[in-house]
Amino acid sequence: MRRKMTGISILLITTALATVALADHGHREHHGHRRTKAAPTTAIPAEELARYREECGSCHLAYPPGLLPARSWTRLMGGLDDHFGQNAELDDATRLELTQWLEARAAETGSHPRSAKALRSAGADTPLRISELPYILRKHHELRDEVFTRPEVLSRANCAACHRTAEEWVFDEDSARIPPR
Amino acid sequence: MSSTETRVRVWDIGVRLFHWSLAGLILGAYLTAEEDATVGLHARLGLAVLAWVIFRVVWGLVGPAPARFRTFVRSPREVLAYARDYVRGQPGLHLSHNPLGGVMVVSLLALLLALTGSGLLMYLGPEWSGPLSPYMGRSLAHGVEELHEGLAGALPVLVVLHVAGVLLSSRLERQNLVLSMITGRKRAPDATPPARARAPAVVVAAGLGLATFIGLGLLLPGRADAAETPQALLQSYQRQAEAEGSGFAGFDPARGKALFLKETSGADPSSCAGCHGADPTRAGRSPAGRNIEPLAPSAQPERFTDAAKADKWFKRNCKQLLRRDCTATERGDVLAWLLTL
């Protein structure tokens, strides 16, 4: 009887330890998985990112430069006095500096995981809105227009309304949450 | 060593302190020139350079004989003759700076005077919302900046030539001239009696340099700190408004509020309040759905602490809504109103 009890106890303890070990293993694997998918923003020096956000991120998300071809950034930065209907003028020095910075990180350089798809989608055009790239439209085709006019969304330019990790330039479907009507 | 026997004290403590302080300050000024975060320090270092340059000019007039311009500034003919001997590798010994060195000293002092002077003008001008802002137009301010940057590019060339000259002369004269600038002693060409400074001259020169440094130093931190508050920005708008028109009679918060709420037909958003919200103590929202921090300094203390940033946004948004830039009076009115909230 006593021997039987001891056997059951050992079995229970072993099972418990194995469960904890497996759970811990799974936990670590999950973390490791996260780490391999580092946010694209981490590839940009913090100072440069802060400067980009300061100049371009006051009115809208500081979009990933890698989602438009270089020619798009060139044209966009050449018309800041009428930036989609808004005056977004910069002094010449800042404008030139930022233009070069954007061109050096444009879709052609593959600076964003989705750069290649964005570039192919642009084709021979010079798109000025990331939200109008056929690739981006296709990704959002399930959403009715009404979603983009909801008070918390306001505009197709407002990626961060649904994409919680938009600031880090991560636009995974599972991290997106659509605000209620 | 026979040379030690003929060594005499040439560089007094003023010249030596001047030389090495200047070297350190210039290095520091170059290291702090580019970043916004260090530009305040850059301005202070530049000011210290200016004070030392003024001291050296005074010292060159009233200081000990080896330090005086009269001693080492030579005629072009003498400079050329010395240059010829130099190229042959047989330059004569000079107790003070040699004739080519004299050219270098004057060039460096002139360049540094222009460099720090243009820097000071930049500091007192529109870039820093300084007291000279109303009197300096955009093109003049830009010209001064170009000059400052151009001279800053020329200085390293002179410094490299200076160091190369010192090293070459040390070789040709078989004495360590760098060490001389530390110990003050050089090999004498003949039995030259050591020069002594007259006490009043020392006091005058040192006093002048110190007074300049303290005077300018007091002026500088005051300005740097002043430009970092909304109240100081308001004062800067007031100076500009007074310079803009003769009819300026103070800012009017009520007028500022009216301008802030004024609707412009055909514009979207149609007023300042369209993005900032009608209550500037609360957050607003951009057309792209971005949160905009409250505009009132009482709600967001960082507001209006950066003159360049305020300038950028006034300009953009005024052009957007009024199809023109705002006047200093209009800016001041709006800021005066925001400061009442």
**B289/A81 CB distance under 8 A:** no
CA–CA min distance B284, chain A (Å) = 11
Q: Are B67 and B11 in contact (CB under 8 A)?
A: yes
**Does residue A147 have a pLDDT over 90?**
yes
Q: Are B332 and B241 in contact (CB under 8 A)?
A: yes
Residues of B in contact with A85 (CB under 8 A): 268, 287
Please name the residue that has the structure tokens 């923003």: A41
Residue B138 makes CB contacts below 8 A (sequence gap 6+) with: B126
Residue B69 makes CB contacts below 8 A (sequence gap 6+) with: B60, B61, B106
Strand-pair partners of B285:
B291
**A60/B290 CB distance under 8 A:** yes
Query: In whole angstroms, what is the distance from residue B104 CA to residue B163 CA?
Result: 10
Residues of A in contact with B288 (CB under 8 A): 59-61, 154-155, 157-158
Cross-chain CB nearest to A59 (options B268, B286, B312): B286
Q: Are B144 and B133 in contact (CB under 8 A)?
A: no
Q: In chain B, what are the domain boundaries? A: 2-227, 231-340
Residues of A in contact with B266 (CB under 8 A): none
With CA atoms as reference, report the closest residue to A62 among A49, A53, A70, A50.
Answer: A53
Helix (H) / strand (E) element for B295: namely none
Task: With cut-offs at 50, 70 and 90, classify the pLDDT of residue A42.
Answer: confident
pLDDT at residue B192, rounded to an integer: 55
Q: Could you tell me if B142 lies within 8 Å of chain A, comparing CB atoms? A: no
> What is the pLDDT tens value at each position of chain B, 341 positions in all?
444 457 888 888 888 989 998 999 999 999 988 876 677 788 888 988 998 898 899 889 988 888 999 989 999 999 999 989 888 888 888 888 989 999 999 999 999 999 999 998 888 877 766 777 778 877 788 889 899 999 999 999 999 999 999 999 898 888 889 998 998 888 876 655 555 555 566 666 677 667 666 666 655 554 444 457 898 899 889 888 888 776 888 999 999 999 999 999 888 889 999 999 999 999 999 999 999 999 999 999 899 998 889 999 999 999 999 999 999 999 999 999 999 99
**Does residue A18 have a pLDDT over 70?**
no
Predicted ipTM of the assembly: 0.77
- HSE-up (13 A, CA, CB side) for residue B150: 8
Strands (E), B59-197: 185-187
pLDDT at residue A30, rounded to an integer: 42
Tell me which of B305 and A3 has the higher pLDDT: B305
Residue B27 makes CB contacts below 8 A (sequence gap 6+) with: none
pLDDT at residue A8, rounded to an integer: 55
Query: Cis ω on the peptide bond leading into residue B76 (within 30° of 0)?
Result: no
> Which of A58, A80, A98 is the best substitution to test chain B (most B C-beta atoms within 10 A)?
A58
CA–CA min distance B28, chain A (Å) = 22
What is the Rg, in whole angstroms, of the alpha carbon atoms belonging to chain A? 24
With CA atoms as reference, report the closest residue to B106 among B146, B65, B72, B154.
Answer: B72
Query: In whole angstroms, what is the distance from residue B60 CA to residue B74 CA?
Result: 14
What is the Rg, in whole angstroms, of the alpha carbon atoms belonging to chain B? 28
Is residue B90 helix, strand or coil? coil
Classify domain B2-227 at the CATH superfamily level. Answer: Transmembrane di-heme cytochromes, Chain C (1.20.950.20)
C-beta neighbour count of A172 within 10 angstroms = 10
Q: Give per-residue pLDDT as tens, A132-141.
A: 999 999 999 9
Q: Could you tell me if B229 lies within 8 Å of chain A, comparing CB atoms? A: no
pTM of the predicted model as reported, rounded to 2 decimal places: 0.54
Interfacial residues of A (vs B; Cβ cutoff 8 Å): 57-61, 81, 85-91, 152-155, 157-158, 160-161
Residues of A in contact with B290 (CB under 8 A): 57-61, 158
For the domain made up of B231-340, the CATH class stated in words is mainly alpha
SS3 per residue for chain A: CHHHHHHHHHHHHHHHHHHHHHHHHHHHHHHHHHHHCCCHHHHCCHHHHHHHHHHHCCCCCCCCHHHCCHHHHHHHHCCHHHECCECCCCCHHHHHHHHHHHHCCCHHHCCCCCHHHHHHHHCCCCCCCHHHCHHHHHHCCCCCHHHHHCCCCCCCCCHHHCECCHHHCCCCHHHECCCCC
Widest pairwise Cα distance in chain A: 90
Cross-chain CB nearest to B268 (options A61, A85, A160): A85
Query: Torsions phi, psi of B7, nearest 5?
Result: -75, 135
Residue B161 makes CB contacts below 8 A (sequence gap 6+) with: B104
Residue B184 makes CB contacts below 8 A (sequence gap 6+) with: B9, B10, B11, B12, B13, B15, B16
C-beta neighbour count of B62 within 10 angstroms = 17
Residues of B in contact with A161 (CB under 8 A): 289
- HSE-up (13 A, CA, CB side) for residue B58: 21
Cα nearest neighbour of B323 on chain A: A87
pLDDT at residue B281, rounded to an integer: 95
Is residue B156 helix, strand or coil? helix
The one-letter amino acid at B215: G
Residue A106 makes CB contacts below 8 A (sequence gap 6+) with: A65, A66, A68, A69, A70, A72, A73
CA–CA min distance B110, chain A (Å) = 29
- HSE-up (13 A, CA, CB side) for residue B28: 17
Q: Are B53 and B116 in contact (CB under 8 A)?
A: yes
